[in-house]
């Protein structure tokens, strides 16, 4: 028979472990940690020797107390210090979970993001939450969303099914921004605003293409591009030994996080910065993602 004292000690240990895990997941990891994760790639469709340093910011989900304006400003400062050739913003700029002590309007977030600086510019796409948070855009099933308007007003170009040619000469490439594949809530008919064929039809020469797609799932069916960059999954937001029990993707952990190479094609999924559904991160710390091509 196990002594009563040992039972109580065991229960106390389990309770303390649960408390520490809760504190870590609710506050320590999502608020105190911010890592820089670098991926160095030589994609098949990228010219050898053509160097490009990309800094990605995905899934801010700004809201008090975890992602207030001071936290956003610090992320902007950290991103600038990484000296990327180009900075890409991957969507979902505001939080929509219930556990907020205060709302952070996109009209206050966008001017902070406008402080980002890179020689080849700062370019943005929208995520599903940027559409879901705008009931007027949901009702008319068309943009521009409040997020797009605020970003454009702050001087940040939003690529919504649009491709732009970056740089000139031998080092040129295309940046193609795809609309959200999950733009509309079920109550508004569901579906997305993404139009990949129309986006890629704007590419008029043989320069390599970098596709910005908030949700990674398009990678499974997309025609070859030099590289696809995505966010949306938060790395699962909770990761246990490199595996996420819940991933907001039809492909589960296949596109949950990091560098995915399939069939001579390359995808990098950022772990993101903020929280969705629940204000918890565990084993998936907030990150600024850097991709170095050569």
pLDDT of 266 higher than 70: yes
Q: How high is the mean pLDDT of the chain?
A: 89
CATH class of 35-293: alpha beta
pLDDT of 19 higher than 90: no
pLDDT for 1 equals 52
Q: What pLDDT, on the 0 to 100 scale, is given for residue 5?
A: 46
Share of the chain above pLDDT 90, in %: 79
Give the chain as a DSSP string.
Answer: ---HHHHHHHHHHHHHHHHHHHHIIIIIIIII--EEEEEEE--TTS-TT--EEEEEE----BEETTB-HHHHHHHHHHHHHT--SEEEE-S--B--SS--SEE--HHHHHHHHTT---TT-EEE---HHHHHT-HHHHHHT----HHHHHHHHTT--B-SSEEEEES-GGG-EEEEEPPPTT-S-GGGT------HHHHHTT--SSS-EEEE-SSGGGGGTPPP-SEEEE-SSGGGSB-BTTB-S--SSTTGGGGSSEEEEETTEEEEE---SS-SSSS--BS---EEEEEEE-
Q: Which of 13-17, 189-193, 209-213, 239-243 has the lowest mean pLDDT?
A: 13-17
Q: How confident is the model at residue 131 (pLDDT cuts 50, 70, 90)?
A: very high
Kindly report, residue by residue over 134-182, the tens digit of the pLDDT.
999 999 999 999 999 999 999 999 999 999 999 877 799 999 999 999 9
pLDDT of res. 100: 82
| Predicted pLDDT at 277 | 86
Answer whether residue 232 shows pLDDT above 80. Answer: yes
Ranges of each domain in the chain: 1-32, 35-293
Evaluate if pTM is beyond 0.85: yes
């Amino acid at each position: 028979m196990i002594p009563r004292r040992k039972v109580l000690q065991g229960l106390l240990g389990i309770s303390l472990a649960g408390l520490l895990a809760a504190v870590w997941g609710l506050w320590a990891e999502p608020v105190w940690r911010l890592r820089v994760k670098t991926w160095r790639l030589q994609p098949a469709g990228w010219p050898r020797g053509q160097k490009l340093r990309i800094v990605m910011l995905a899934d801010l989900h700004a809201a008090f107390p975890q992602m207030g304006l001071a936290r956003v400003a610090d992320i902007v400062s950290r991103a600038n210090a990484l000296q990327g050739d180009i900075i890409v913003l991957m969507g979902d700029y505001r939080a929509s979970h219930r556990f907020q002590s205060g709302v952070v309007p996109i009209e206050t977030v966008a001017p902070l993001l406008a402080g980002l600086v890179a020689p080849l510019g700062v370019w943005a796409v929208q995520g599903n939450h940027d559409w879901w948070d705008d009931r007027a855009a949901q009702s008319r099933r068309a943009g521009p969303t409040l997020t797009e308007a605020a970003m454009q007003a702050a001087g940040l170009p939003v690529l919504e099914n649009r491709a732009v040619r970056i740089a000139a000469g031998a080092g040129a490439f295309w940046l193609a921004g795809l609309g959200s594949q999950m733009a509309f809530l079920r109550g508004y008919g569901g579906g997305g605003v993404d139009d990949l064929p129309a986006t890629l039809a704007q590419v008029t020469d043989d320069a390599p293409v970098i596709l910005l797609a908030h949700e990674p799932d398009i990678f499974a069916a997309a025609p070859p591009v030099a590289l696809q960059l995505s966010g949306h999954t938060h790395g699962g937001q909770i990761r246990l030994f490199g595996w996420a029990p819940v991933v907001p993707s039809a492909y589960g952990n296949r596109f949950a996080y990091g560098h995915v190479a399939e069939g001579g094609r390359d995808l990098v999924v950022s772990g993101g910065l903020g929280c969705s559904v629940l204000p918890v991160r565990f084993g998936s710390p907030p990150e600024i993602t850097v991709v170095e091509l050569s």
